[in-house]
Amino acid sequence: MTKHRSKNALIEAIQVEHLRLEKSLALISTRDMVEQGAVGTWSVKDVLAHLTAWEQLLLNWYDAGLFGKTPSPPLPTGMSKNAIDKLNQDIFEQNRKRPLASVLNEFQTSYQQVLVTMLMVQEEDMFTPGRYAWTGRLMLADYITSNTCNH
């Protein structure tokens, strides 16, 4: 559950955490970004591709929900830990051979897409539990938080 209680606070948290990550990335050489070991066997590039993929999942779930469609893949709240681990492994496999520049570009583009989308969402829609059928008993803000500033 999100600790944020307003749209502005949530968007600020997304921006602050992204900026913090950007500052850390600025200290890492491009060579080091592709070396395994940043998180387990994943490189920094792999982590950025993972974060981007989860942001894109959020946007896809949100878009599907707006049009009354069932989001795919299933939401993490309906997935087992093994299914989430498999999804994360699939994300890794899909991105591991991509060039660093491509991953960095998509990382920045995805962040901007999330910000633009979240700025358009009404605060009440973010913080009303069950406002969207796909969120179940949770708030949209819970999914936003989980896929951005708290991921």
Give the CATH number of the domain where residue 90 resides: 1.20.120.450
Residue of 21, 63, 36, 45 whose CA lies nearest to 148: 21
Is 87 a domain residue?
yes
Domain tally for the chain?
1
Q: Domain of 32? A: 7-147
Q: In this structure, are residues 2 and 18 in contact, taking their beta carbons and an 8 Å threshold?
A: no
pLDDT (average), residues 1-29:
93
Is 2 a domain residue?
no
CA 16 vs CA 29, 32, 91, 96, 150: distances in Å: 22, 24, 25, 27, 11
pLDDT (average), residues 96-120:
97
Is 1 a domain residue?
no
Encode pLDDT of 33-62 as tens digits.
Answer: 999 999 999 999 999 999 999 999 999 999
pLDDT (average), residues 63-85:
82
